[in-house]
Amino acid sequence: MPSHAYLVLEDGTEFPGTPFGAELESLGEVVFNTSMSGYQEVLTDPSYCGQIVAMTYPMIGNYGVNPDDVESARIQVAGFVVKEYSKTYSNFRASMSLAEYLRQGGIAAMEGVDTRRLTRHIRDKGAMRAGIFLDRKGALERLTAHPKMDGLDLASRVFCDRPYEFGRAGLKRPPIAVYDFGVKTNILRLLDEEGFAITVYPGNTPLKKAIGDGANGVFLSNGPGDPDAVEYAKTLVRDIVKEEIPCFGICLGHQLMALGLGGRTYKLKFGHRGANQPVKNLETGRVEITSQNHGFAVDIESMKGMDDVEITHVNLNDNTVEGLRHRRLPMFCVQYHPEASPGPHDSRYLFRRFREMVAPR
């Protein structure tokens, strides 16, 4: 194992450290996550495709990893950066160390990085291209050639190849189509708990296919990349409006619904990634503490003047749009992650709301 590694940002800033994952270089967009736990769920969340994730919590790896706390079939991040990697782990569910997990997944990782300084730099300058390098020679040239996140359809890199069923089946379970743009496993688990018969479809599947298979509702999943680049999803939302079929969207699904309804999206300076984002429900006045992971947001100005669309939730940190609903049709969406994993469970009522839309008990 090499003794040194370097996180190099496209503005030339360098952060030295020590490698502890796979012995390779990795390029992506560097972002930070403020969660105190849940690093395995973060690593396997498809929404992090193409990103190097830095954890702000200072010690990571102390409870190891296990086969159950995964949000997809593989590690999705482009790289992983921490202040201190705990070489000793202790948890009755653990099956291996974090370092071994990263090496098996072929993911570059660094420890010993001043993550406080890195986080402040990202907040000041914005999320940007970066790389984990074992040799700094030519690093900036390689970064310059790497594509930026803007304009990238990363959903097509992570969604499933063919439709599949998830969870329990049964004649009394209302069938829904989950459109996979990078869906997290815990979303599917909660939809299963609500009593749906779930079929997961690739994100570019025509709506007529899902309806022909018997779907009574549509779920638009989370996912990575620039929502404006996912052209096939805009067509999907417009078809959902025509069919007036119940629809619920989360994260990227929220952004795609807004685009399909005629709104716009834009890239946030450094995004929202963590498990303690305060969101106000404008319908009830209650504040929900939410788990979030996104770098793009819905342009609130683009939604004003739409008689059929109502903003239902706002972020109390920066007043960005966190939820929408259609006034006339059974369609709603949220920017945050009500399924959490990791994070609080304040917003799980949204899954029950979707069930009542599709098939009232």
State the pLDDT at residue 169.
Answer: 76
Contact predicate 206/232, CB 8 Å: no
Residue 342 confidence (pLDDT): 87
Residue 341 has pLDDT above 90, yes or no: no
155-358: same fold as 5-145? no
**What pLDDT was estimated at residue 64?**
98
Where along the chain do its domains lie?
Answer: 5-145, 155-358
337 is catalytic: yes
The verdict on whether 339 is a catalytic residue reads yes
The residues near 315 (Cβ < 8 Å, ≥ 6 apart) are 272, 277, 278, 279, 321, 322, 335
Find the mean pLDDT for residues 240-264: 98
Is pLDDT of 170 > 80? no
Active site residue 333: no
Arithmetic mean of pLDDT over the chain: 96
For residue 361, what pLDDT is reported?
A: 67
- Using pLDDT thresholds of 50, 70 and 90, give the confidence band for residue 333: very high
Q: What are phi and psi of 98, to 5 degrees?
A: -60, -40
| Residue located via tokens 């993911």 | 107
Write out pLDDT tens, residues 80-118: 999 999 999 999 999 999 999 999 999 999 999 999 999
What is the dotted CATH code of the domain comprising 5-145? 3.50.30.20
The pLDDT of residue 171 is above 80 = no
pLDDT at 1: 66
CATH superfamily of 155-358: Class I glutamine amidotransferase (GATase) domain (3.40.50.880)
Rounded to two decimals, the pTM is 0.96
Write out pLDDT tens, residues 61-80.
Answer: 999 999 999 999 999 999 99
Chain segment 35-63, per-residue pLDDT in tens: 999 999 999 999 999 999 999 999 999 99
Q: Locate the DSSP E strands across the chain.
A: 5-9, 14-19, 26-33, 51-55, 59-60, 79-81, 84-85, 108-111, 128-133, 164-166, 175-180, 197-202, 217-220, 247-250, 265-281, 287-298, 309-315, 321-326, 331-334
Above pLDDT 90, what percent of the chain? Answer: 93
Q: Which entry of 294, 313, 326, 337 is annotated as an active-site residue? A: 337
**Which residue out of 29, 41, 71, 251 is catalytically annotated?**
251
CA–CA distance, 184 with 339 (Å, rounded to integer): 9
Residue whose token pair is 């992570």: 158
161 pLDDT higher than 70: yes
